[in-house]
C-alpha cells in the first residue's frame, strides 16, 4: 500500500526555504539593476562633461527599452545591460558550493544575474538581425547582496570573493567602467577578401537595405569560466 502520509509539510518547507529565498534574490537583483541604471547615467554625465569643448562630437546616450534592459551608446558601440528575470543555482561542481558562507546556508547560492553585452551601434540602427554581440561580463547577486563577477582580466579575478563582497555603488561604477573600456579596446575587423568575393542578388539587396554585411567585432577575450587555466579557480 502506498504511503498516504500528506506531503504538504514537505512542500511548505520547500516553499519557505527555496521559494522565499528566490523571491528575495529577485527583488535584490531588480533593485541592484535599477541602481546600475543610475550609476550608468552618472557615468554618461561624467563622460559628456569630460568631452565638452573637444573638436569632435561623440554620441554618448542612453536608451531604456524595458525594465530589464539598458542600452549605453558610445560612438559606434552599444553596451547593453540586461537583467535576467529568473533566479539561478549552480551545478554541484561549481566552486560556490565549496564556500563556507554557502555551506552555512545553501540558499545563499541562489543568484540573480545581470549580463553586459557589446554590440555595434549600427547593428541596431540598421536592424542587422544576424550581427553578433559579445558577452563582456555576468554579475551574480544573492539574497544578501553578496556578488561575484564572471568576465576577463580584472573582471575575472577582482570580484570573486563571494563570501565577503557586498554590491554597492563603488563596485557597480568600477564594473561599468571596465565594461566600457573593454568595448572600446576591440575594433571592427574587415572580413578576408576571399570570404566576400561572391555574393547573391538576394544578399546584395539585403546588404543594401541594412547598410552592410553581417558584422561583428573581434573581442579578443573570453569569459573567465571559459579559460581552461581558470576552470577550477575558487570563488570566495
Distance between CA atoms of residues 58 and 130, nearest Å: 26
Residues 6+ away with beta carbon under 8 Å from 155? 136, 137, 149, 175, 178, 179, 182, 224
Distance between CA atoms of residues 187 and 195, nearest Å: 19
Q: Quote the pLDDT of residue 224.
A: 42
Q: Quote the pLDDT of residue 195.
A: 65
Distance between CA atoms of residues 26 and 68, nearest Å: 12
**Model-level pTM?**
0.80
- Binned at pLDDT 50, 70 and 90, residue 161 comes out as very high
Residues 6+ away with beta carbon under 8 Å from 85? 26, 68
Q: What pLDDT digit, counting tens, does each position of 86-124 carry?
A: 999 999 999 999 999 999 999 999 999 999 999 999 989
- Binned at pLDDT 50, 70 and 90, residue 209 comes out as low
The two most distant CA atoms of the chain are separated, in Å, by: 85
Q: What pLDDT digit, counting tens, does each position of 17-58 carry?
A: 899 999 999 999 999 999 999 999 999 999 999 999 887 888
Amino acid at each position: 500500500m502506498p504511503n498516504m502520509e500528506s506531503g504538504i509539510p514537505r512542500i511548505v518547507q520547500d516553499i519557505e526555504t527555496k521559494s522565499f529565498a528566490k523571491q528575495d534574490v529577485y527583488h535584490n537583483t531588480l533593485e541592484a539593476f535599477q541602481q546600475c541604471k543610475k550609476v550608468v547615467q552618472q557615468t554618461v554625465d561624467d563622460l559628456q562633461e569630460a568631452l565638452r569643448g573637444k573638436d569632435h562630437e561623440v554620441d554618448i546616450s542612453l536608451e531604456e527599452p524595458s525594465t530589464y534592459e539598458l542600452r549605453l551608446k558610445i560612438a559606434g558601440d552599444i553596451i547593453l545591460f540586461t537583467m535576467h528575470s529568473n533566479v539561478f543555482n549552480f551545478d554541484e561542481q561549481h566552486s560556490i558550493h565549496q564556500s563556507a558562507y554557502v555551506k552555512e546556508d545553501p540558499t545563499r547560492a541562489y543568484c540573480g544575474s545581470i549580463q553586459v553585452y557589446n554590440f555595434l551601434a549600427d547593428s541596431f540602427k540598421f536592424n542587422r538581425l544576424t550581427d553578433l554581440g559579445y558577452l563582456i561580463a555576468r554579475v551574480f547577486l544573492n539574497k544578501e547582496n553578496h556578488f561575484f563577477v564572471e568576465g576577463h582580466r580584472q573582471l575575472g579575478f577582482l570580484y570573486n570573493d563571494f563570501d565577503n563582497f557586498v554590491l554597492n555603488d563603488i563596485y557597480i561604477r568600477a564594473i561599468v567602467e571596465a565594461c566600457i573600456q573593454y568595448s572600446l579596446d576591440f575594433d571592427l575587423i574587415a572580413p578576408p577578401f576571399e570570404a566576400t568575393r561572391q555574393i547573391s542578388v538576394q544578399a546584395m539587396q539585403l546588404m543594401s537595405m541594412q547598410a552592410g554585411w553581417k558584422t561583428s567585432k573581434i573581442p579578443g577575450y573570453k569569459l573567465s569560466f571559459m579559460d581552461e587555466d581558470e576552470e577550477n579557480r575558487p570563488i570566495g
